[in-house]
């Protein structure tokens, strides 16, 4: 059986690339470990189930303000099993939809481990099938890593592959890592009733260069308000099992007794044992496949997308790279990777969204910038919704006014940021953004206000305080 394109890994990136290749007229096949792993980490053990639980936490938050809307709650009970059930139901529905849709389109999925044998051959272990194709796209994703003495065992030390099995509200959780995973689960467990200690070895939450310090600090304040015990510049020195859980000694000298330790410390690419080394595909010392701006490896007809290409492990980055690869196969050269237009969104006690450069990154690149900020505190729609916290921050080139970055904390930041993704992609200026007609009242108005702050100079409340 000869295909135009075999995609090894039907996660978010592989699946999206496959549909795209299909609609562009190619004969496509997927190779995926098992029917239960279609959709990959994002769907089965990542962004989809966590966002479901996060919505539950958001609903619980709403109880604090319901009385202001004339709704006098008589209280509620938590049944964590129902949360798990509802969550798994969404995951399975989407997964089954994926499979049914591929079937409708007659795109075959071969189940088993796919191993590259030569630049045109994938061998599927299990069914022991040999598939041939003109092109191969490797999209095998990543797995959680451990750190030092914290080795996941599914009971005392739990990683993000294992956390989904928990079917009770833990009394106390120790979360290691203040990145996206850490702050999301800190919020979820806290709202569902757990005590939460969150340790982060660096000096702030969300300590990555593409998220500004302000965003991390704002979120930390909010999580602390909700009772999350955040310890920055702290890590776990040692830990031991107890009768009912764990006892950990932290580097700040304190001791934490908890039901378990949740590890949210990073992931490693799944690039071993699938024939990449044997074929001579170039990888870096951490095991990431080296690709060019078209997602192409050093073997011209083999492409790679997603978590195996860089430590920025986002489903949509993978989906985008996969489509770029397909376009390149079709001879197109105008669609390339672009770091500047990758939205990064964290769903915690507040939504935190970033795209493009922070002020610090611009400084490092010797670009003079101007910054405009619009607070949600006085945004009328946010006030109506009882969600008036956070801000929109626009970073623009001082000389040209071109928007270089946008950083939002607050209501629906994860949707709002897309307006600026489109604009950055197109080189739009703060003048452009300030002259759009934003609906009133809307949260989107803050994008106009922040842009006007840069374009016309500051007038807003925030700057004057």
Positions marked active-site: 440
> Rounded to the nearest whole angstrom, what is the least distance from the CB of residue 379 to its own copies in the complex?
10
Is 179 annotated to bind a ligand? Reply is: yes
User: Backbone phi, then psi, for 373, in 5-degree steps?
Assistant: -125, 135
> Rounded to the nearest whole angstrom, what is the least distance from the CB of residue 129 to its own copies in the complex?
27
Q: How many CA atoms within 13 Å lie on the side-chain side of 274?
A: 26
DSSP 290: P
Q: What is the rounded distance in angstroms from the CA atom of residue 206 to the CA atom of residue 284? A: 25
For residue 392, list its beta bridge partners: 374, 408
Taking alpha carbons only, the member of 396, 455, 384 closest to residue 427 is 396
> Rounded to the nearest whole angstrom, what is the least distance from the CB of residue 214 to its own copies in the complex?
20
Query: Are 442 and 383 within 8 A, CB to CB?
Result: no
275 or 448, CB closer to its own copies?
A: 448
162 or 452, CB closer to its own copies?
A: 452
300 or 461, CB closer to its own copies?
A: 461
Name every residue whose Cβ is closer than 8 Å to that of residue 243 and which is 6 or more positions away in sequence.
Answer: none
Q: What is the rounded distance in angstroms from the CA atom of residue 146 to the CA atom of residue 455? A: 47
Is 82 annotated to bind a ligand? Reply is: no
Is 184 annotated to bind a ligand? Reply is: yes
Is 315 annotated to bind a ligand? Reply is: yes
Is 61 annotated to bind a ligand? Reply is: no
Q: Which residue has the tokens 């969204």?
A: 353
Q: What is the rounded distance in angstroms from the CA atom of residue 66 to the CA atom of residue 451? A: 33
> Rounded to the nearest whole angstrom, what is the least distance from the CB of residue 316 to its own copies in the complex?
4
DSSP 441: S
Q: What is the rounded distance in angstroms from the CA atom of residue 42 to the CA atom of residue 57? A: 20
> Rounded to the nearest whole angstrom, what is the least distance from the CB of residue 232 to its own copies in the complex?
27
Is 200 annotated to bind a ligand? Reply is: yes
235 or 452, CB closer to its own copies?
A: 452
Q: What is the rounded distance in angstroms from the CA atom of residue 246 to the CA atom of residue 155? A: 10
50 or 296, CB closer to its own copies?
A: 50
Residue 360, token pair as written in the block: 């610090």
- Binding region for FAD: 51, 114, 140-142, 307, 313-316
- Binding region: 51, 114, 140-142, 177-184, 200, 266, 307, 313-316
- Binding region for NAD(+): 177-184, 200, 266
């Amino acid at each position: 059986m000869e295909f135009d394109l075999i995609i090894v890994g039907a996660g978010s990136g592989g699946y999206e690339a496959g549909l795209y290749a299909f609609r562009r007229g190619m004969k496509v096949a997927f190779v995926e470990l098992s029917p239960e792993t279609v959709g990959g980490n994002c769907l089965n053990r990542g962004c989809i189930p966590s966002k479901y639980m996060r919505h539950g936490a958001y609903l619980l938050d709403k109880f604090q303000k319901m009385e202001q809307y004339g709704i006098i709650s008589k209280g509620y009970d938590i049944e964590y099993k129902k949360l798990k059930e509802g969550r798994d139901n969404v995951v399975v529905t989407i997964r089954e939809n994926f499979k049914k849709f591929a079937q409708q389109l007659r795109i075959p999925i071969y189940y088993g481990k796919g191993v590259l044998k030569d630049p045109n051959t994938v061998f599927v272990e299990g069914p022991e099938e040999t598939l041939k194709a003109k092109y191969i796209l490797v999209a095998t994703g990543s797995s959680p890593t451990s750190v030092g003495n914290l080795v996941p065992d599914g009971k005392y030390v739990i990683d993000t592959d294992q956390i989904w099995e928990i079917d009770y509200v833990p009394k106390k959780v120790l979360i290691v890592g203040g990145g996206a995973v850490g702050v999301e689960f800190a919020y979820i467990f806290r709202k569902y009733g757990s005590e939460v200690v969150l340790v982060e070895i660096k000096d702030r939450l969300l300590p990555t260069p593409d998220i500004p310090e302000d965003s991390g600090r704002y979120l930390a304040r909010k999580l602390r308000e909700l009772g999350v015990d955040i310890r920055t510049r702290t890590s776990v020195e040692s830990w031991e099992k107890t009768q009912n859980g764990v006892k950990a000694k932290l580097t700040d000298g304190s001791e934490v007794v908890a039901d378990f330790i949740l590890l949210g410390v990073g992931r490693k690419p799944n690039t071993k044992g699938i024939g990449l080394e044997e074929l001579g595909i170039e990888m870096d010392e951490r095991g990431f496949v080296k690709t060019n701006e078209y997602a192409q490896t050093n073997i011209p007809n083999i492409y790679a997308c997603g978590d195996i290409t860089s430590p920025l492990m986002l489903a949509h980055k993978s989906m985008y790279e996969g489509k770029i690869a397909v376009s390149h196969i079709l001879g197109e050269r105008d669609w390339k990777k672009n770091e500047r237009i990758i939205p990064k969104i964290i769903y915690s006690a507040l939504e935190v969204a970033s795209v493009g450069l922070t002020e610090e990154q611009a400084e490092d690149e010797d670009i003079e910038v101007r910054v405009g900020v619009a607070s949600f505190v006085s945004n009328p729609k946010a006030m109506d919704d009882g969600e008036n916290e956070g801000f929109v921050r626009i970073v623009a080139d001082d000389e040209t006014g071109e928007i270089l970055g946008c950083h939002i904390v607050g209501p629906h930041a994860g949707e709002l940021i897309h307006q600026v993704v489109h604009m950055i992609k197109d080189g739009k200026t703060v003048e452009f953004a300030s002259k759009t007609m934003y609906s009133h009242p809307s949260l989107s108005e803050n994008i106009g206000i922040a842009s006007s702050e840069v374009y016309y100079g500051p007038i807003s409340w925030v700057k004057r305080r």
